[in-house]
Amino acid sequence: MEFFATCPTGFEQLLAQELRNLGMEAVRPLQGQVSFAGTPEKAMEACLWSRLASRIVLVLARAGASTSDELYASLSDVAWEEHLLPTKTFAVDASGTNAELRTTQFVALRAKDAIVDRLQEAVGTRPAIDAKQPDLRVVVRISRNRAVVGIDFAGEPLFRRGYERDRRGFRPDYAAAMLAMGAWEEAGPGALLLDVHSEQGTMLVEAASIAARQAPGLLRTRWGFEGWAGYDPQAWQTSLERARSVFVEAPDVRLAAFDGKQTALNRALRTAGIAAEVQVVRQGDVSALGIPALLTCDLIDASDEPATQASLVSRLVHATTETKPQHIVTLSRDALPGLALNATAERTVTTRLGRDTALFSAFGPLPDTPRNQIVLPNADPITPLVAASDQFAARLKKVARQRARWAKREDVTCYRVYDADLPDYALTIDLFQGCDPRTMMPTGKRWLQVSEFAPPKDVDPALARCRLLDALTIAPVILDVDPRNVFVRVRRHAKGGSQYADEATPFSANNRSSRRRQSGPILPPGAHLIEEGGLIFEVNFSQRLDCGIFLDHRDTRSMLREMAKQTKGSKRFLNLFAYTGTATCYAADGGMIHTTTVDLSRPSLDWARRNMERNGFAGREHEYVQADVISWIGEQRHTRNRWDLIFCDVPTFSNSSRMRNRSFDVQRDHSELLIGLSRLLTRDGICVFSCNLRTFAPDEDKLKRARVEIEDITAQTIPEDFARNKRIHHAYLVRRA
């Protein structure tokens, strides 16, 4: 009989070799599948033993399917009474479309009608449909004007082994592909496998299962072929007994995991029925393992978290340097492993993970060439991916020491440590120190927020990635921060859109799972508390592009507090484009009695309210307005509302759909904005205006004609830790002449 086994794209050659080893005939790799010939008993054995196939399908017909009527007629010609018993349920699994059969749901419906009508006519009974757990699953695959019709022998996908605790984790067939590429089956007794990324233990279980000669389907209790009329239970029992007889419960194999959780990994092996133990090693102990027959590393899970990936790549490089494995197989989204290992892959397999491309890379023994190491106090040596990273380490170490002395002298707890000092390492590093809101004293918690500037198009993206990963490996060591507390953002030129609106998910204080015991408002998930200028602020590094406070405006906020202290009269303060209301807190601390905080984003206003309440500023005299700031200013000009002190930190560009005029450009529109702001000031009122457009230049002639005075105070507002970048922002005092 004719069969085909489906598999992930790129696995075809690996699967074809596996099927040949299992005794299948006429094996032919195709796109996303491998066809073969054999008896039903051999196909059932393939279901039991294949580690790479997703499904195995018995082909019943290749039929015309240019229209729905032709599909119906073609399927009506199949002798379904020979395959589906009247007492069994079935479902149709359809894939593919064409010009006439435009949806898979319609294909499945027409196929179901044909099958039911054929059985009604042949045996006088209509079988029942069970879409979730049918006894028999019929496969209909449309390609152009033809259809392949068959029966799914697997039922549930074959990569569901039965030992997985989390189906969202690393798939066993991907682990099996890496083991096949690394020749693990040929490793021999006592062979050592070192898995660098062992969070769920899938790689270790698959490796132990191969060494134990355990059929991967041995733990499964349900199969698709059991609902087929041609199923031979006796032959299947014979296959099961033969598989159980060759299974060795305690295989002669050594399994090691780099920085995994030993209890959880051993539990995964026991769940699979294998009596093997995992040795968990730390970085300093890797060399004592000996030479692994195979080292594996999955970089996919960490690819969206550069700080985690940096730590993982560092482990990979260190492990290969210390142990000299015979084979290395990695899974990544790009060619990063080759750059990290300074080697060319002997074999690569390209596949798909969701919508993304993934790359399996197999390396032989690496050349015994020494690599530079960076030695830092109280830390294991770091093997950089890029030789020049030792210059970054030296620079960061020097600047960090200087910044720490300055911060202690100035009583600053959150500051910029590194500001793109070296051109090739174009990133910024901000250090944040946690604070206890009850005592106002620093806690042991420290975080780094790293912002990388997207490299120019003429820079190799993989090289830029390696530099970033080196920086993320080095910085936590020098700055004494847990690598898990390093957060990375890539900054690109914005194409428009509100700077902050809709970036955060609204936080509900009624969400009991978010409650924490603390003084003041409840902290949302991922939030932390810091201190600045004697005030407590909430920051969140994982939810938004900006963490909730702009450190470059530290001196500007202090200036606002001093101006508030000197303000006479009604003591009214207005904060526009307020974001999280940090300036409002400073103004209130300076004695402003009435504050108005305006922003388009509701989550930002909720955040601002929490900041105010946490610092003791609550009550009706503090209002929070969700509005398009530009339109709101125009509306307020026609009221009697006036303010003694205004702070306006504008975005460079915004085109939120909720803005009445749809777009704002600071260079184009600043004159009208400042004229409007000047009309909202009291007689002696003053506005502090700022923006971060590097090339910003005020239209002084137009402002002068409108009787608006403007004074550049940028130099007074740039903190020492931002002194390298004098254009980090522009700041002006605005008065009504």
Q: Who has greater pLDDT, 151 or 264?
A: 151
Lowest mean pLDDT among 101-105, 425-429, 441-445, 591-595: 441-445
- Per-residue pLDDT, averaged over 604-620, amounts to 96
Q: What is the pLDDT of residues 329-372, one digit of tens each?
A: 999 988 889 888 889 999 999 998 878 889 999 999 998 877 78
Question: What are the residue ranges of CATH 3.40.50.150 in the chain?
Answer: 172-213+249-363, 543-736
Question: What are the residue ranges of CATH 3.30.750.80 in the chain?
Answer: 389-491
Give ∠ CA 47-49-50 in degrees, rounded to 5.
70
Q: What is the pLDDT of residues 713-726, one digit of tens each?
A: 999 999 999 999 88
Extended strands (E) in 315-385: 328-332, 347-353, 356-363
Give ∠ CA 300-301-303 in degrees, rounded to 5.
60
Question: What are the residue ranges of CATH 3.30.2130.30 in the chain?
Answer: 2-152
Instruction: Domain 389-491: give its CATH code.
Output: 3.30.750.80
Distance in Å from the first CA to the final CA of the chain: 93
Host H or E run for residue 626:
strand 622-626
Q: Are 476 and 486 in contact (CB under 8 A)?
A: yes
d(CA 60, CA 323) in angstroms, rounded, equals 52
Q: What is the pLDDT, as a whole number, of residue 167? A: 64
Q: What is the pLDDT, as a whole number, of residue 569? A: 87
Lowest mean pLDDT among 141-145, 259-263, 334-338, 660-664: 660-664
Instruction: Rank 251-265, 479-493, 507-521, 656-670 by mean pLDDT and report only the highest.
Output: 251-265
What are the residues facing 356 on neighbouring strands? Answer: 353
Q: What is the pLDDT, as a whole number, of residue 510? A: 35
Extended strands (E) in 43-100: 55-64, 90-95
d(CA 674, CA 734) in angstroms, rounded, equals 8
Q: Are 590 and 565 in contact (CB under 8 A)?
A: yes
In three-state form (DSSP H/G/I as H, E/B as E, the rest C), the secondary structure along 381-429 is CECCCCCCHHHHHHHHHHHHHHHHHHHHHHCCCCEEEEECCCCCCCEEE
Q: How far is CA 567 from the centre of its chain?
A: 48
Q: What is the pLDDT of residues 472-521, one digit of tens each?
A: 999 999 999 998 899 988 765 444 333 333 333 333 333 333 333 345 78
d(CA 399, CA 471) in angstroms, rounded, equals 14
Identify which of 135, 45, 47 has the alpha carbon closest to the alpha carbon of residue 88.
Answer: 135
Q: What is the pLDDT of residues 107-160, one digit of tens each?
A: 999 999 999 999 999 999 889 999 889 999 999 999 999 999 999 999 999 999
Mean confidence (pLDDT) of the chain: 90
Instruction: Domain 543-736: give its CATH code.
Output: 3.40.50.150
Extended strands (E) in 86-244: 90-95, 136-143, 146-152, 191-195
- Per-residue pLDDT, averaged over 610-630, amounts to 95
Q: Are 615 and 536 in contact (CB under 8 A)?
A: yes
Q: What is the pLDDT of residues 77-95, one digit of tens each?
A: 999 999 999 889 999 999 9
* CATH superfamily ID and name for 172-213+249-363: Vaccinia Virus protein VP39 (3.40.50.150)
Identify which of 334, 343, 298 has the alpha carbon closest to the alpha carbon of residue 316.
Answer: 298
Q: What is the pLDDT, as a whole number, of residue 653? A: 81
Q: What is the pLDDT, as a whole number, of residue 492? A: 53
User: What are the structure tokens assigned to 523, written together?
Assistant: 């902290």
**CB-CB neighbours of 158 under 10 Å:** 28
Q: What is the pLDDT, as a whole number, of residue 303? A: 57
Identify which of 64, 72, 74 has the alpha carbon closest to the alpha carbon of residue 98.
Answer: 64
Is the whole-model pTM more than 0.85? no
Instruction: Domain 2-152: give its CATH code.
Output: 3.30.2130.30
- Per-residue pLDDT, averaged over 21-43, amounts to 96
Q: What is the pLDDT of residues 156-189, one digit of tens each?
A: 999 999 888 766 678 999 999 999 999 999 999 9
Flag whether pLDDT at 11 surpasses 70. Answer: yes
Q: What is the pLDDT, as a whole number, of residue 494? A: 44
**CB-CB neighbours of 322 under 10 Å:** 16
Identify which of 80, 105, 75, 93 has the alpha carbon closest to the alpha carbon of residue 134.
Answer: 93
Q: What is the pLDDT, as a whole number, of residue 491? A: 63
At 571, is the pLDDT very low, low, confident or very high (cuts 50, 70, 90)? very high
